[in-house]
Chain A
Amino acid sequence: MRIQSITILLISLTILAGCEESIEMQASIGQQAPPFTLQLTDGQTMKLDGQSGNAKAITFMSSWCPCSNESIPLLKRMHTQFKDQDIDFLMVGIQDPENKFRQFVLDYDLPFPAGYDEGNKIARSYGINSPPTTVLVDKSGTLRRIYYGNIKDMESDVFTWVEEIL
């Protein structure tokens, strides 16, 4: 009886969970960056639509990830250094409960926009499975670089990469 109950519970949960839509991984270095629209934590919306405009420095982060936490001071320095140039900074919360990510953004007092990636859809379209990952898109909307991992000790590299896309 107990086994039947567990089996029924598993099947019911599976049906309830349902299937999610497949998100095609589109990101390739040197190709157009996958477009997306993201609802920001301040209620605004940010769009990356493949049209020319500002360059983008996008970081995919999770509140629970030590490397994400350690990367933030450098991201703030990057923002201070380049904020008056043609570049938008954005943090995307992935693999996190939304409330945890919102608190994380508040705790670190981010000086640039952040938004929560519901269902990790944007991350999947960029082929990102782990935080932190930093993505650089140039002014023409071309994906120039994806860097996986902690950037805390990479100040000169990261600053050079940003200068390359400006």
Chain B
Amino acid sequence: MEWTTALWGGFSSFFSIWQICILQISPFFMVYILGLYLTTDEDSRINPGVRLLLPPALYMIGFSIIYALLSARGISAGRLLMSNINNLRIAAGIFIGIISLHFVLAARLRDMNHLLWPIVLGLGPLLLGISFALIYSPCVTPTYAKILQMSVASETAGQGARLALIYGLGMGLSFSVVGLALIMIVRPMPAIYKPLLRNFSAAVLGVLALMNITGVMVYYKAFFLGLLV
């Protein structure tokens, strides 16, 4: 399989029927990227380009690395992650809860956000990408199915992992494009509504955190995704 096929497979899945399955994480990414933008919105000291582009780029990297490792069952790192996936999902839930709290506290932490912007706009999205890859039960699209067949056999596991990385980057890219479009829509919104939207983002992420910490994420999948089946 060509890398371009893997990239397109990941990217296009967002805009296809497979979105049903990606609903596990896509709405949560959108509220995150909006909430993060609104958290640093009033800080003119941070370069606007960095504020806009760095978080989705680092989210893509974090997401695709773990996505690739979880796909590569033929290599030891992938097997280790898979063996501990339930505990890792709880850890991911705790981290998402911390992000939610950060959004709630954003107005009080304005100076800290400025001082620690590499953490807020860099490390945070990277770890959130990792968290989302851990909580996601991937949709086995036809392209991803072929990648998984390679990943499970030890002799082709490396090639499968590389293609899964590119597939994950394609998915991350589609998330980022849609997230950036949403930011463009929200940007001209009157300032009075922005804290409301940020608090809404915090609440939605808080729910996601609780679902993963308590293990009830399966009910979200079964109820909401089941409605569409």
Contacts and interface: CB of A to CB of B under 8 A. Distances in A.
Contact of A129 (B85, B154, B214, B219): B85
Given A3-B105, A119-B86, A96 B215 contact: no
Q: How large is the interface on A (under 10, 10 to 19, 20 to 34, 35 or more residues)?
A: 35 or more
A147 B149 contact: yes
B84 interface: yes
B206 A130 contact: no
Main secondary structure of the interface of B (DSSP, over half): helix
Contact of A7 (B83, B101, B152): B101
Nearest to A99: B222
Nearest to B108: A3
Interface string B29-67: 000000000000000000000000000000000000000
Given A62-B221, A66-B20, A96-B222, A3 B82 contact: no
A37 B157 CA distance: 29
A27 B73 contact: yes
Interface string B200-215: 0000001001100111
Contacts of A24: 79, 83
25 contacts: A3-B105, A6-B104, A6-B206, A7-B101, A10-B94, A17-B90, A17-B215, A19-B90, A24-B79, A63-B222, A63-B226, A63-B229, A64-B229, A67-B139, A95-B137, A95-B218, A97-B222, A124-B83, A127-B78, A129-B138, A130-B138, A133-B140, A148-B152, A149-B141, A150-B145
Interface of A: 2-3, 6-7, 10, 13-14, 16-17, 19-20, 22-25, 27-29, 62-67, 69, 95-97, 100, 119-120, 124, 127, 129-133, 146-150
